[in-house]
């Protein structure tokens, strides 16, 4: 059912507050220099206009890197930003509708935390999804309303049931990234581990080394 190859090794989700004075675009540039393979633009508090402006600045940083830019939830802004796709949650627009709006070339990801949600995703059929995000694996402060942590075993169960590559998110650190390699997921997603780091390039490089089995 996988439509295209997506490299989920190190998936960075932005947090404008955690990036601080350095800013999101510079943080993203540093993260990609350190080995990030996908970037999701997330800022639920931003107006649409501010979100588009931020997205355009981030996209500019990604030109020539080959790293896709994914928009969190705001499907109606993907085209204005020139992003490569969208990531939706269980309470956002249904992925099949997102696919219909964005066309076949877009990347579409979906958050799941249970096997039932994976089964529902499989019911969407071919050509809708490109990857799943599983979590939260561990508790995380960057999304206070998250559900109960699923742990590495939960991530492994999702990966085993999924027809698509799975990226694990929630409380991922350099120390934990290596352990997640054993669960069958295709990569790890981080927010604070990169956005709040003193040096985002070094943090990303450390995470990639852990994921790649070099630490």
Residue 97 sits at the vertex; the CA angle it makes with 96 and 103, to the nearest 5 degrees, is 85
Q: Is 111 one of the annotated active-site residues of the chain? A: yes
Interatomic CA distance for residues 48 and 45, integer angstroms = 9
Q: Which of 213, 18, 129 is nearest to 120 (CA)?
A: 129
Render each residue's pLDDT in the chain as its tens digit; 215 residues.
345 689 999 999 999 999 999 999 999 999 999 999 999 999 999 999 999 999 999 999 999 999 999 999 999 999 999 999 999 999 999 999 999 999 999 999 999 999 999 999 999 999 999 999 999 999 987 666 667 999 999 999 999 999 999 999 999 999 999 889 999 999 999 999 999 999 999 999 999 999 998 65
Residue 181: domain span: 10-211
Say if 106 falls within a structural domain. yes
| Catalytic residue from among 74, 143, 176, 208 | 143
Q: Is 99 one of the annotated active-site residues of the chain? A: no
Say if 2 falls within a structural domain. no
Q: Is 9 one of the annotated active-site residues of the chain? A: no
Interatomic CA distance for residues 198 and 207, integer angstroms = 14
Say if 88 falls within a structural domain. yes
Say if 91 falls within a structural domain. yes
Say if 141 falls within a structural domain. yes
| Catalytic residue from among 3, 9, 42, 176 | 42
Say if 1 falls within a structural domain. no
Say if 4 falls within a structural domain. no
What's the pLDDT score for residue 2? 40
pTM for this model (two decimals): 0.95
| Catalytic residue from among 111, 113, 162, 206 | 111
E strand or H helix at 178: helix 174-180
Residues in the chain: 215
Which CATH number is 49's domain given? 3.20.20.70
- Cβ neighbours of residue 178 closer than 8 Å, sequence gap 6 or more: 210, 211, 213, 215
Which residue has tokens 């790293």? 67
Return the biggest CA–CA distance within the chain: 44
């Amino acid at each position: 059912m996988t439509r295209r190859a997506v490299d989920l090794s190190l998936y960075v989700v932005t947090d404008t507050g955690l990036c601080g004075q350095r800013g999101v675009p510079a943080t993203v540039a540093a993260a990609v220099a350190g080995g990030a393979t996908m970037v999701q633009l997330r800022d639920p508090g931003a107006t649409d206009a501010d979100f588009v402006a931020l997205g355009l600045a981030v996209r500019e940083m990604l030109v020539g890197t080959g790293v896709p830019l994914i928009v969190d939830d705001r499907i109606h802004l993907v085209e204005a930003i020139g992003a490569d796709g969208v990531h939706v949650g269980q309470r956002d627009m249904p992925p099949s509708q997102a696919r219909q709006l964005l066309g076949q070339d877009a990347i579409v990801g979906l958050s799941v935390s249970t096997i039932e949600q994976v089964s529902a995703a499989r019911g969407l059929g071919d050509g809708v999804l490109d990857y799943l995000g599983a979590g939260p694996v561990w508790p995380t402060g960057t999304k206070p309303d998250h559900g109960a942590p699923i742990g590495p075993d939960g991530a492994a169960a999702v990966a085993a049931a999924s027809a698509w590559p799975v990226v694990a998110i929630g409380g991922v650190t350099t120390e934990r990234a290596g352990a997640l390699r054993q669960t069958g997921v295709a990569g790890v997603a981080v927010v604070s581990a990169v956005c709040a780091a003193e040096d985002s390039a070094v943090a990303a490089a450390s995470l990639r080394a852990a994921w790649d089995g070099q630490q």
